Amino acid sequence: MAGKQVIPSSKLISSVAKKSSQPINRCYQCHKCTGGCPVTFAMDIMPHQVVRYVQLGLEEKLLESKTIWQCTACHTCGSRCPNGIDIAAINDALKQQAITNNVKPALPEVRTFHEAFLASVKNNGRVHELGMMLAFKRKTGTYLQDVSLGLKMFRRNKLRLLPKKIKNRKRFHTLLQGEKEG
Amino acid sequence: MKFSYYPGCSLHSTAAEFSASTEAIFKFLGVKLQELDDWCCCGATSGHSINNFLSHALPLYNLILAENNGSDIVVPCAACYSSLKSAQVFMKSNNSKVTKLNNHLKVTMGRTYQGQINVYHVLEILNNPQIQDLLKKHISKNFNGIPLASYYGCLLNRPPKAVSFEDNPEQPKLMDKLLNQVGATPVVWPHKNECCGASLAISQPKIVEQLVAKIIGSAKHAGAKAIVTACPLCQTNLDSRQPQDTDSLPVFFITEIIGLALGINSLSWLKKHLIDPIPF
């Protein structure tokens, strides 16, 4: 950002504030969030910068960042913020905005994981961990990652071969229809 | 005492020993847990990350099942607990989507969400005065002062407005109190509430390995011989992604420790761990 003039835009903050229900304008950049965040060592935009960038309307930078996908939603930032801003909730709103805008995620594996997880829930009513893992591996090509760990868990009966589906499929399907009705 | 029991997906697979030990100790103490019939996934991290609708609708589906039974819910999984509690907070808010969601729930479940029941974590129940009296009466094994690190992770204390049942969410101590009761020595350590990386274990394993290494290093530095947790994902990450080059620390569920102290046969639970805790 150094040396480049930024013309602030309020377009992003209104949509993110609405989606995340966070009082983003209250931030006075004390950096307490960044001080406590456990994942800053890997992030490209620090948590306090996320809030500032939202205020300034730097949508592209945020949606293309690694940070929004690396946030573990541990809520350390939100618990300690003197202004009651939960950045994990802001990161969720930004992830969803990135998907809506069709922005290629900086860490596609994270998005693929969430999609595989929810696809498993929609199919079975519950997560079938083995099926979800295989779908994740198929989509990301990470076939060799964690194979020995998977086998250890399988030997200890920690991974079910087949999903345990919920019984009342019709009721659950009706629940899912609510998403389309918006 | 009688509760609806919501195990969640992990407790039916990767953390089956958490469910087995929870059910065993409550049965021993005479607390009836009735598993919610036909419960669904709570949506977990993936729900709130990319799908706001599911992050509310899935926990509410389960809350309404429990309201139908009329009993408060007990949840062992920290993520499920957080999802259910956060959905309750959402339904109390002025968000315009609350009414719409409730109308849809009426169509789906035949009734709206009423907010009539409480959601408790297993740790809360273990600290209930009545249960405390029973524990004091029945604890038969003493851990002889062995140093243990109580590890809370994130979602049992954060966000504090929605979930925490501790006096100070930054310095939780109910698990330490339980460890004292079984004769162990809870160590004082700075990583009690630090995040293990949670579901990034699959999509960003390197990040999780670094976070786990810090937590394990800190527990060892404090002198702990094992870690005790109350979250299935924390247990899985700490049990499976510890640095390979050092002596491993076994990672127990608090319910396993209580089960051992009550003299319940716990071999089938402990055999499921990746880091063998049996010589412990």
In this structure, is residue A6 part of a structural domain?
A: no
Tokens of A180: 């389309």
Strands B119-121 and B147-151: unpaired
Helical axes B78-92 vs B97-109, angle rounded to 10°: 120
What is the separation of C-alpha B242 from the centre of its chain, rounded to a whole number of angstroms?
20
Sheet strand arrangement including B147-151? B185-186, B147-151, B226-229, B251-253
Q: Cβ A158–B154 below 8 Å, yes or no?
A: no
Specify the CATH architecture of the domain B127-270.
Answer: 3-Layer(aba) Sandwich (3.40)
Tell me the residue range of the domain where A76 lies: 11-100
In this structure, is residue A4 part of a structural domain?
A: no
Tokens of A152: 């250890």
Report the candidate in A91, A69, A172, A95 with the shortest Cα–Cα distance to residue B105.
A172
Domain stops at, among A61, A79, A100: A100
Do you know the residue count of chain A? 182
pLDDT digits (tens, 9 = 90+) for B86-99: 999 999 998 889 99
Question: How many domains in chain A?
Answer: 2
B2-121 maps to which CATH number? 1.20.1050.140
- At B280 the pLDDT is 64
- At B137 the pLDDT is 97
Tokens of B85: 């509690």
Regarding whether A23 and A92 lie in a shared domain, the answer is: yes
B169-191: average pLDDT: 97
- At B143 the pLDDT is 96
Mean pLDDT over the full length of chain B? 96
A 34-63 residues with CB < 8 A to B = 38-39, 41-42
In this structure, is residue A3 part of a structural domain?
A: no
Report the candidate in A54, A46, A4 with the shortest Cα–Cα distance to residue A27.
A54
C-alpha dist (Å) from residue B4 to B118, B121, B146, B243: 10, 12, 34, 39
ipTM for this model = 0.96
In this structure, is residue A1 part of a structural domain?
A: no
In this structure, is residue A169 part of a structural domain?
A: yes
Q: Is B161 exposed, middle or buried (0-12, 13-18, 19+ CB in 10 A)?
A: middle
Report the candidate in B16, B107, B122 with the shortest Cα–Cα distance to residue B60.
B107
Chain A residue nearest residue B155, CA to CA: A74
Regarding whether A114 and A94 lie in a shared domain, the answer is: no
pLDDT digits (tens, 9 = 90+) for A86-130: 999 999 999 999 999 999 999 999 999 999 999 999 999 999 999
In this structure, is residue A5 part of a structural domain?
A: no
- At B164 the pLDDT is 87
In this structure, is residue A150 part of a structural domain?
A: yes
Q: Cβ A72–B14 below 8 Å, yes or no?
A: no
Indicate the residue of A38, A153, A166 with minimum beta-carbon distance to B14.
A153
Chain B residues whose beta carbon lies within 8 Å of the beta carbon of residue A15: none
Q: Cβ B207–A175 below 8 Å, yes or no?
A: no
Regarding whether A79 and A17 lie in a shared domain, the answer is: yes
Contacts of A91 (CB under 8 A, 6+ apart): A50, A67, A68, A71, A73
Tell me whether A100 touches chain B (CB under 8 Å): no
The 8-class DSSP code of residue A167 comes to S
List Cβ<8 Å contacts ≥24 apart for B96-104: B97/B56, B101/A178, B101/B56, B101/B57, B101/B60, B104/A175, B104/A178, B104/A181, B104/B57
Domain stops at, among A82, A100, A118: A100
Chain B residues whose beta carbon lies within 8 Å of the beta carbon of residue A121: 40-41, 43, 46-47, 54, 58
Chain A residue nearest residue B49, CA to CA: A92
- pLDDT band at residue B82, thresholds of 50, 70 and 90? very high
